[in-house]
Amino acid sequence: MKISHSYNINKINVMVLKILYITIFVLVIAAIAENKNGSATGTLWVLAFGAIFSTITYFLKINPTMRAIIFVCILPLTAITKAFLMESNILTYYVVIGSVVLTCVYLESKITLITSIIMHTALIIYYIYSPDKALHFISEDMRTMTFGSMVLVNGLVTYCLMIMAVSSKGYLNSSMKKSQEAEELNKKMESTMENVLKNTKILNESVIEYTENINQTKEASNNITMSIKQMATGIKDEAVSINNINMIMQDAGHKVAGTKKVSEEVQNSATDMNQKITKNADEVNVMISQMVNIQESVGKISEIVKSLQDKMNNIDKSLDGINTIAEQTNLLSLNAAIEAARAGEQGKGFAVVADEIRKLADQSSKITFDIHNVVGQIQYDTKMTFENVQKGNVAVDKGMDIASNLSDSFKLVSNGFINVNSNISTEYDMIEKLKVLFDQMQVQLEGVSAIAEEHTVKTEEVLSNTETQSEKMNQLVVLIERIKDLSKDLEDATK
């Protein structure tokens, strides 16, 4: 692993060059202060050469490692050269030791080794060439041992510095590696937080859209509930009307039965008609009055049945509207399930609720379909009832004609008694048929009444299911608001 750009050899070279400038400046000051017999002039020229050579080396396009070796060697070689020209002192050897120590800042054992070899080679050459100048401050018998000790100590220092350079570089590389790993981990964490923030914003947008869809569904559900309540009220009123019609038909049936009985009596007493003509004329007038009442009742029945048909048509239209709303609810629930699938893990709970809405919409459609079928059957039965009532009305009209003819016949009874008796028989037959028709109408009305009661029960069940659905929609709205708040908290936490 390479040392990062924050700790490279070029930067260290700049630092070492500054140290050289400072050291040379200090040595110049010391030389001037210690000027003896003009000896400072030579020292200044040597130091000036070292400074100039260091500057030129810095701008040369050479290998950074070679530049480092030159920088470290300039000062000790300058000191050795000065000592060779004049005489050495203990400071010369301190400069050599200091330069070897300076190599440790590069954390490169080869720089330390090469520099140490160059400087010690220069010292050995200097000592061999001029031992008196090299160690003039040491007694002659101790110079060789002292110089050997100095070289040995410098070698040990060099070895220790090389070990330190290798260890320090290893520690530095390990530290830089951990720093880079921490930086990469931090970048990954920032990327993760950005993704979380991005997904949170998407979730917020989805929740807002879901909230709008749920509110629309809730409004549609409320409209369905209101429509079903109105339909339930209409069906109850219809049941009451059908019961009233049934009671009227029962009364009309009793009257028809009474008319039949009168006709039987008329027929049985036909042989006594001449003697009881006056009494029988009154009975015929009563019969005519009853026929008028029957005609009015049949007319009312016809109007009621017609009104029932209109109501059944209105119910059928309402059921079509309910079925349309149920289909729209089903589509909305499907859209909500699709959006929940896009939201991923956060949308699973909402997907379950959307599925429940779809099931309720399907149930509403099925129940509406069943009601539609029942209403269709009622419409068919009502149509048949209306046709039968029309037939009864025709029969009543014919009865009125017969009664009129009977009244006229009484006026001509003395001349056409045989014709009167025949007309009475005909009247009896028609009344018998009329009674059968009324019995059939009563049976049909009883069936319609039972169907109306069944419709009432089913409508109440549909109303109960719709109210339950509305309650679940309210719970769903609360849940969506809670998800919206949690998503907002998550977005704030990731900022």
Q: What is the pLDDT of residue 3?
A: 39
Q: What is the pLDDT of residue 490?
A: 65
Same domain, 146 and 40: yes
Domain boundary among 135, 162, 193: 193
Same domain, 118 and 264: no
What is the rounded distance in angstroms from the CA atom of residue 403 to the CA atom of residue 169?
A: 134
Same domain, 177 and 295: no
Same domain, 126 and 26: yes
Chain centroid offset of residue 169 CA: 53
Same domain, 137 and 228: no
Q: What is the pLDDT of residue 317?
A: 76
Same domain, 155 and 289: no
Same domain, 366 and 310: yes
Residue 338 lies in a domain: yes
Range of the domain at 402: 199-494
Q: How many domains does the chain have?
A: 2
| Residue 9 vs residues 3, 166, 171: alpha-carbon distances, Å | 9, 15, 17
Element (H, E) at 111: helix 109-129
Radius of gyration of the chain (CA): 61
Residue 271 lies in a domain: yes
Residue 152 lies in a domain: yes
Domain boundary among 172, 193, 214: 193
Q: What is the pLDDT of residue 136?
A: 64
Domain boundary among 148, 165, 193: 193
DSSP, residue by residue, 406-466: HHHHHHTHHHHHHHHHHHHHHHHHHHHHHHHHHHHHHHHHHHHHHHHHHHHHHHHHHHHHH
Same domain, 329 and 464: yes
What's the average pLDDT block by block, 10 residues per block, for the chain (495 residues)? 52 80 76 61 72 83 84 78 66 70 76 82 78 67 72 74 69 69 74 71 70 70 71 69 71 70 68 67 73 74 76 76 78 77 72 75 78 79 77 74 72 64 72 72 72 72 73 72 70 65
Q: What is the pLDDT of residue 254?
A: 74
How many Cα atoms sit within 13 Å of 96 on the Cβ side?
Answer: 26
Sign of the dihedral defined by the CA atoms of residues 331, 333, 336, 340, in that order: negative
Residue 31 lies in a domain: yes
Same domain, 239 and 121: no
Same domain, 203 and 158: no
Same domain, 265 and 308: yes
Q: What is the pLDDT of residue 365?
A: 76
The pTM of this model reads 0.32
CATH number of the domain enclosing 488:
1.10.287.950
Same domain, 424 and 462: yes
